[in-house]
Amino acid sequence: MGRTLKLSGQAIALALVAGLLGLLVWKLTHQSHPPTIGGPAPAFSLKRIDGGGTVDLASLRGKPVVLNFWASWCVPCKSEAAALEAAYRRYRSQGVVFLGIDYHDVTGDARTFLSRHGVTYTTLQDGSGMVGDRYGLTGVPETYFVDRRGRLVGFHIEGPITDSKLAAEFEQGVEAALSS
Amino acid sequence: MIVRLAAALVAALALAAPAAAACTHPRTSLSYLEGQIMCPTCHTTLDQSDSPAALRIEAEISKRIAQCWTAQQIEAELVQNFGAGILAAPPRKGFDLLAWWLPIAGVVLGAALLGLGVWRWSRGRDGPAPPPEESGLDAESERRLDEALARFE
């Protein structure tokens, strides 16, 4: 009886340790790593902020895409909003798709922001920040470029594109997405 | 003059009546919800954060409190907006219930194992004395050991 109890206790302890180790391994293997330029753009499907359904990145295969992560509470995002809208108007005739991804934001605030800054390109909601985390965001605004084959190209811009250096990188990024 | 006073009184009543009637339950408070809601960018509760995102969420909560929303309604709206991770504690339903019950089960199991161990230990102490252990030496070796020990006494 005592021996059986002892063995059962040891088996339970071993099972618990094995379970915890399993959790650790799962966590380590499922950790999100920032994507690399040249590699595939992490997939996502997000709701449009205007309530008009969802957008799946995979459905845009064949088109160059500019992904801009932003939030209404982010001060630099306000400064780059007009520049992004102007770029969208400039490049949309060449088939470039602009997607704004509203990161960790109150939806009402985001809608007010879009209206106030006259943003007309599609904006998606990433309230939980899951997609932003998948892209390895360290803050907002950040911009990525996706080519027709669904690969990240050009630069990963961390900061507002109104900055002169980042503005040049933005133009090169769009061109890279267009040309590859 | 009397007409003006009457008009002011009517206007005050007209403004006060909806405000009083709007809230039929005790209002929740910002300070309560600040401890229940996480700041999504800094991963602390709102009351420990001054980040821009946290301040915007606090403003949203204040707006809803002014509109007489209950704490549950406000939390539900925030979960819809930010996902369940916005709540400081997991919901008490479905799979998340495990997060509430597992620690309790762990404490109960630990207490049970401890109790069992103490019980077995106390029984071992009260039981009959174990028989003297065999030395493992043959008779000749034991005799020589006794002689050797006797020389030291």
For the full predicted model, state whether its pTM sits above 0.80.
no
Token digits of residue A5:
């109890």
Tell if the CB–CB gap between B53 and A127 is shorter than 8 Å. no
Contacts of A3 in chain B (CB under 8 A): none
Which residues numbered 26-65 in B keep a CB inside 8 Å of some CB on A? 40-41, 52-53, 55-57, 60
- ipTM, interface predicted TM-score of the complex: 0.82
CA distance A73 to A71: 5
Contacts of B41 in chain A (CB under 8 A): 104, 129
pLDDT digits (tens, 9 = 90+) for B49-93: 999 999 999 999 999 999 999 999 999 999 999 999 999 998 777
3-state secondary structure of B141: helix
Instruction: Measure CB to CB from residue B53 to each of A73, A107, A130 and give the nearest one.
Output: A73
- Mean pLDDT in residue range A75-101: 97
Q: What is the pLDDT of residue B139?
A: 85
CA distance A22 to A13: 14
Domains of chain B plus CATH, in order, are 26-101 (1.10.8.640)
Instruction: Measure CB to CB from residue B40 to each of A72, A104, A109 and give the nearest one.
Output: A104
pLDDT digits (tens, 9 = 90+) for B113-144: 899 889 888 887 766 666 666 667 788 888 88
CA distance B44 to chain A (A): 14
